[in-house]
Each structure stands twice: as structure tokens, then as C-alpha cells.
Amino acid sequence: MKQQAERWMWRIAAGLVIPMPVLLLYALAPAEIVVTVVAVLFVAHCVLTRHGNWLRQPWVIVAGLLWGQVILSSVVQGGSHGVVQAMCFGRYFLFIAALQAWVLPGARVRAVLARVYAGVAIWLVVGCWEQYICGRNIWGYGRWADGALLGPLWAPRAGSGLFMTALPGLFPIAIRLSQRAGARGRVMAAGMLLGLVLTMVLVAQRMPLFLMLGGMGIVGLRVPRLRGGLVAVGLLGAGGVALSPVLAPQAYHKLVVNFIAHMHAFADSPYGMLFIRAGVMIGRHPWFGLGFDGFRHACPDPAYFHGLPWLGVAEGPHGGATGCNLHPHNHYLLMGTMGGIPAMGLFMALVACLLVPAWQAVAPTRDPQRLMLAVVVTLVFWPVASTSSLLTQPAAGWLSMIVGWALAASPFTARLRYVHGGD
């Protein structure tokens, strides 16, 4: 009876996890429900089977300390609502552990998930080109106000969605093609990657494009047979950007003109103002921050309308409500504003603890899937980046999925004594 109950719980959890890429595009509330349900089922599974070896992992211990710091910070700042939200924050860590130690250790399940990711990536590419050629997407929407392509969506999330699905879903296929004898496979692989880069250029979302190019750079370093093709892709992609003033002027304005303007006067840019505001908050509350989601609640407070003298940012035009947003657009600053410098330090330690097993014994040509999972985990935690909030979907879901998947594929996970539900 116990084994049958556990088997059914695993089937339910796996059935919820497999379609997550689609939910993260089209149904954010159901995606949040999936995270919570899988986390609860995993706890029930652990109690039922006395499965607790996963708790001894370094990343789990550090995640527990980070969770505790955010809860403590919320208690210090007062407000029962923030404390409850901070306590629920741990569901993401439980979801990652569930993917690693329970739902995804089986190779067959991971293979199915990889095919879903590849299918979603192809769907996004087709939707982006449809909107570019026809002027409208499948829902009748044109480009976003800032010029970004929406693809088959109704909000500017195609770039991040394509980055999160194409690297683990399509890049392994390109790597396998490059390993074929002769030049044909390498040409096909380069063509596939060129199509992705040109699609990203048309989408006109800077950070996903930079991250994809970064991923290609890492792949070029680890897969020698793709280096020539990736150099050609880079040159042709640069040519695409050069032609974008004629072929896609809105994309050119956002990718080139706006980027140069932001870099020339970073402190006056929206991202610079968010960085300054978060820096002021952390400086005022270095030990406990402002509690769960403190940046959003405290951002309009004139007490934080200041510069950062220690970085040479003077008082004056960098303050005010124009520097406000729902979150600081950076994972590390988000943790710092919620739990102070201790939370930021614990988050850095957590990232290190996740990267070690993700990269452990990676063999690019033998297991390109593991290589790409490790690459994506590295890139999503890249500190010099503008990101969506880790506290909401879809960013929390994408990150949790890729981290749990990478850990499940790691040889370290094979040494955990988990109970098989799917093999």
C-alpha cells in the first residue's frame, strides 16, 4: 500500500513537471501551483519513505540558512504578511530538491523533458518569425512598445523563454550534429545556431541575447568541432545587427542605440537608478535588509533617495521615484535588500554549491545535455545581469527547473539513496 501510494505521488509530480515550460509561457498561476504541489508531495514522499539523505547536501544546508535569514529579516522588520511570505519562499528550494532527488533522476523522464523544451523553443522561434514577417503574432498583437517581438505570447517574454528552452533543448542537438563525420553535421549545427541568434536579434531583448551569446562562447571553448561554426555564426550575427537599421529598425534602436546610451551614462539609466536605490537600502540595513520583498515596499520612501558616495555617485538626479520598480533587477541585489549582506553572502555560497555538482565530470561530447544544463545554470546566476524577480513566475520557475534538472543529471545525485518512482 505504501509503495503504491508513493508510486502514484511520483506519477502526479512527474505529470505536473513535464509541461512546466508551457505553463511558464502561458499560465503563470498554474505554474506557481505546480511548484507548491510538487514541493508538498516531495515532503510527503520523504516522510512516507524516510528519504532524507538529500538534506545532507551542501547546497541544501546553505539554502536552509538563506531561507532562515530571510525569515529572520522579515521578523525584524515586522509585519505578519512578510513573515508568511518569507516562510513560503522555501517552496522553491523544496521544488529543486524534489526535481533532483525524486522526479528527475530517471534518464527516461529527463529525455522527455528535453523534448518538451526543444518543442517549446521551436514554437517560440516560429512565432517570432511569424510576427516579424506578418506584423502580428498568433494572438493578433504587434511588437511591444519598446520594439521587442512578442513571438507567440502577449507580453515581452519571448527572449527569456527562448534562452531558457533553446540552450537545454536545441543546443545538445547541435553539438551531436557537429560530432558526425565530415563537414555536413557541422554546417547543419552552425545553421541551427545561426537561426537562433538571428531570432534573438529580431526579438530585441538585450539580456537574453547576451546570455545566449555567452552560452555559445562557453560551448565553443568546450566543443572544438563547433568552434569554426560558432565563429561564423558570430560574424553573421554581427552582420545581422549591422543590417538591423534597415531590416528591423526597432530592434536596432533597442539593441544598439539604447544600450550605448545606458552604458555611457549608467547612473542615469533605469538600471543604474535601481542599482543605486538597492545599494542605499543595503547600506542603511546591512545586517537584516528590509525583509521579504522589501525593495518593492520601501522603494518609494524618500529615506532612500540618495546617491552612493562610496561608488562616486553623487546626490541629486539619481534619487526620486524615477528610480523605483517592483524589484532591483538583479538576484544578488534582491537578496541583499531582503536579508542584508548575510543573505547576499549566503546566496553567493548557494550559487557556488550548485555550480560544483552541475559541472562535476561534464563530458561535452559524450553528454552534451549535461554540458548545456551546466552552462544555463552558470548564466542564470551571472552577477552582472539584469534579471526578473526570483520571487515570482516565470523567472522563479525557469530557474528552479533548470537547477533541479542539472542537479538530477549530475553523477553526484546517483550517490544519493533516493527511492525510484519512474524507473
Specify the higher pLDDT residue, 355 or 257.
355
Q: Please tell me the predicted confidence (pLDDT) of residue 215.
A: 96
User: What is d(CA 390, CA 393) in angstroms, rounded to the nearest whole number?
Assistant: 8
For the chain, the average pLDDT equals: 90
User: What is d(CA 177, CA 368) in angstroms, rounded to the nearest whole number?
Assistant: 11
Phi/psi at 406 (5° precision): -65, -40
Span 367-393, average pLDDT = 95
Decide: 67 and 83 in contact? Cβ < 8 Å: no
Residue 419 has pLDDT above 50, yes or no: no
Q: How does pLDDT run across 313-323, given as a tens digit for each residue?
A: 766 655 556 66
Q: Please tell me the predicted confidence (pLDDT) of residue 422.
A: 40
Least confident of 113-117, 142-146, 340-344, 402-406: 142-146
% of the chain surpassing 70 pLDDT: 95
Residue 423 has pLDDT above 50, yes or no: no
Least confident of 137-146, 262-271, 295-304, 396-405: 262-271
Specify the higher pLDDT residue, 119 or 80.
119
User: What is d(CA 214, CA 35) in angstroms, rounded to the nearest whole number?
Assistant: 29
Q: Please tell me the predicted confidence (pLDDT) of residue 2.
A: 72
Cis amide linkage into residue 394, ω under 30° from 0 = yes
Q: Please tell me the predicted confidence (pLDDT) of residue 318.
A: 55
Q: Model confidence at 137, in pLDDT bands (50, 70, 90)?
A: very high
Specify the higher pLDDT residue, 409 or 51.
409
For the chain, first and last CA: distance in Å?
Answer: 19
User: Helical H runs in 180-320?
Assistant: 184-203, 206-222, 227-247, 249-252, 259-264, 270-284, 294-298
Residue 311 has pLDDT above 80, yes or no: no
Q: Please tell me the predicted confidence (pLDDT) of residue 321.
A: 60
Q: Please tell me the predicted confidence (pLDDT) of residue 80.
A: 84
Specify the higher pLDDT residue, 116 or 300.
116
Q: Please tell me the predicted confidence (pLDDT) of residue 33.
A: 97
Q: How does pLDDT run across 15-35, given as a tens digit for each residue?
A: 999 999 999 999 999 999 999
Least confident of 124-128, 239-243, 346-350, 406-410: 239-243
Q: Please tell me the predicted confidence (pLDDT) of residue 273.
A: 86
Closest CA to 318 of 326, 327, 307: 307
Phi/psi at 129 (5° precision): -70, -35
Span 163-188, average pLDDT = 93
Span 217-234, average pLDDT = 93
Least confident of 124-133, 182-191, 214-223, 391-400: 182-191
Q: Model confidence at 218, in pLDDT bands (50, 70, 90)?
A: very high
Mapped onto helix, strand or coil, the DSSP state of residue 308 is: strand
User: What is d(CA 53, CA 306) in angstroms, rounded to the nearest whole number?
Assistant: 48
Phi/psi at 234 (5° precision): -60, -45
- The model's pTM: 0.94
Q: Please tell me the predicted confidence (pLDDT) of residue 322.
A: 64
Q: How does pLDDT run across 49-87, given as a tens digit for each residue?
A: 988 899 999 999 999 999 999 999 999 998 788 899 999
Span 105-109, average pLDDT = 94
Closest CA to 85 of 292, 340, 297: 292
